[in-house]
Chain A
Amino acid sequence: MTDKREAVKKLFTAKSSRVETNKGDVYYQRLYAQCKKRIEALKTLEPFGNKLELQDLLSEEGVDRRDFMKWVSATTAMLMLPSFFEPLVAEAAEVMNRVPVIWIELQDCAGNSEAFIRSDGPKVDEIILEIISLEFQETLMAAAGHQAEAQLHDAVETFKGKYLLFVEGSIPTAMNGFYGTIGPSGETFEEHLTRLSKDAAAIVAVGSCATFGGVPAAAPNPTGAKGVMDIVKGKPIINIPACPANPANMVGVILHYVLTGQIPELDSLLRPKFAFGYRIHDNCERRAHFDAGEFVEEWGDEGAKNNFCLYKMGCKGPMTFNNCSIVRYNEGVNWPIGVGRGCIGCSEPDFWDKYAYERPMADANIKAPTGGVEKTVDEFGLGVLTATAVGIGIHAAASALAGKKSDEGEK
């Protein structure tokens, strides 16, 4: 009997998209000990290529200890760790340059690289991304051509099985992949990715393009663009979608890896739950206006001036999972909804085709699921109704003309 009850309990508490913020003391004590050991081990290693020390860099950029500790506690909370992990997180941030990172760029706009290097005063996240041992990053490095090839080759050889491979951009597959080739050898993006992922410890797909194909994969997808998880098999993959991916989440994933030696807990779309476990809508500052039925009806109207909900302007917050409503962008300065623009669901699969239209579903031109003609769901529905009404009308008129009696009678 108890066995049965246990079995039922297990079935109904199966791994779902549930976000568990408290896993119990025993779990955290064990995790703490494990992290401690790992960091001690990392400390004994020489930093790889990048010899910069975090503390020096921080003070050079005018970030004092207090700012850093603030960042530490925010990041600890973001990773859903109890506050007694804070000293460990601080230590982990200092040894982040012991984990080598290779960053490749495929079919994309470099927006994710831009996201973490563009800001007027660098914030802790960005400084940390500077200190990680970035062994290879085409956009940021000085080397080019054969020289860059050689550098990549070196990095892969030296850090075989140890490096994190960050991938930005989608992978074109149409025309044998010749929409995107790289380097003097003319290797296609797909070959490039497959080759580099072979020796990676884990692959982190950054941004909407690398995760789910993003804008390049939008209909009609001429280049046959795909996300990393459709190409690479048999390796741990972490997806950090969004357009661009939030630097806080990139740092979070690296930090989690440095701290625990493992990838964070993922949801069914391989997104880390600490970042993508929550719906924008549930943490949105305009939510009270949503419940009140107060909507912006037009750009710049009274509602817009009063920060009403953007649902009728096409906000897709109710269907989008991301932590921008909590972490925000640019070190918490603001985020799309904060500036008065609805969410376009950039962290969801197929976001460009299925989320980015600028009106609520009932008001937008959505591609009919049958493909082909663009029409809204409601226009189609009205069509169904009209057809039914016409059918009924014809039948009713004919019945009235034909009279009431059945002439065959019943048998």
Chain B
Amino acid sequence: MKSGYKKVKRMTVTGRTIHWINAFSILAAVITGLYIAHPYYQTFIADPAVDKYVMAWNRWVHFICAIILDVTSIVIAYLYFFSRFEKPYKKLIPTGKNIKEFVEVLLNLLTLNRRKNFDSSHNDSFNIVYFTIMHLLLAWMLLTGLQLYVHGLESGLSSIGNWWPAMLHLVTDWTIPVTGGTLMDVRISHHYTMWWIVAWVMFHIYYQVWRTIYWQEGDMAIVFGGSKFKKEE
């Protein structure tokens, strides 16, 4: 550790595990999702169909990632409110203090680190708002995705019981009228949202690298080791 710096713990092991599971699941879901929407690599036409399940594998990976994201989302939703470490929701409440912090962090970014009037050692409300938007996008992906998926179980049966398709219908059928009235609208919305998520990820990576370079507090280390460094006063 550089002298004059103190270590600040920012992410628990659980938090980091979830982060990387999410990152890889999203990556895999985007790659396979693009294939499902429009099979973009050619399979060898001369090959017989036996034993070759290109679409089936893509869908398998897509669904498994989705289910993993479902589970981590539930964990995140729980930690959001009940984490013993940091409760993100506290930074979301639009109190004067949080709004001021949000604006200051934004100004720090816009003024290219010309002003920095907030405590950068802890999670700030700008980051939390940003983080929340991502999880809302993910929740929307899960709901529309499950809606598209459940129609393959039209018999009302599934390998894990009849409750599963019934529950999916109950929880996701409303996405049809909300997106425009047909299954195709759900599909389009699911696809659109992917692009927003990819754009979000792009900015996220940039911003974390930017913070690391300009704040010089080792922010990048948070997601690997769980802590960053803060100059001693």
Contact = CB atoms under 8 A, between A and B. Distances in A.
Asked if A pairs with B, the answer is yes
Nearest to A411: B117
Contacts of B117: 408, 410-411
B195 to A, nearest CB: 3
Contact of B120 (A294, A350, A395, A410): A410
Interface string A12-51: 1110111111000000000000000000000000000000
Interface in A109-130: none
Interface residues of B, number: 61
Nearest to A11: B170
B7 interface: no
Given A380-B195, A389-B202, A12 B163 contact: yes
A314 to B, nearest CB: 11
Contacts of A409: 116
Nearest to B192: A377
Interface string B52-78: 111110100000000000000000000
A168 interface: no
Given A348-B184, A404-B216, A410-B116, A17 B55 contact: no
Nearest to A402: B112
Given A348-B183, A410-B116, A16 B169 contact: yes
Contacts, number: 187
A293 B165 contact: no
Contacts of A385: 195, 198-199, 202
B214 interface: yes
A280 to B, nearest CB: 11
A406 interface: yes
Interface string B37-58: 1110011011001001111101
A303 B45 contact: yes
Contact of A282 (B45, B152, B181, B203): B152
The interface centre, meaning the residue of A278, A292, A345, A405 with most chain B CB atoms within 10 A of its CB, is: A292
B114 A408 contact: yes
A404 B210 CA distance: 10
Contacts of B52: 292-294
Contacts of B39: 293, 295, 311-312
A288 interface: yes
A292 B113 contact: no
A381 B194 contact: yes
Given A385-B199, A399-B113, 14 more contacts: A12-B170, A19-B154, A289-B49, A291-B56, A293-B54, A311-B39, A321-B154, A354-B184, A361-B184, A381-B192, A384-B195, A391-B203, A392-B206, A406-B108
Top 6 nearest A-B pairs by Cβ distance? A293-B54, A381-B195, A18-B156, A362-B38, A16-B169, A291-B56
29 contacts: A12-B166, A12-B170, A14-B166, A16-B169, A16-B170, A18-B155, A18-B156, A18-B166, A279-B154, A282-B152, A294-B43, A294-B54, A306-B45, A312-B39, A316-B184, A348-B183, A362-B38, A369-B188, A377-B195, A380-B195, A381-B194, A385-B199, A385-B202, A392-B203, A395-B109, A399-B112, A402-B113, A406-B108, A408-B115
Interface of A: 11-14, 16-21, 268, 277-279, 281-282, 288-295, 297, 301-303, 306, 308, 311-312, 316, 319, 321, 345, 348-350, 354-355, 360-363, 366, 369, 377-378, 380-382, 384-385, 387-389, 391-392, 395-396, 398-399, 402, 404-411
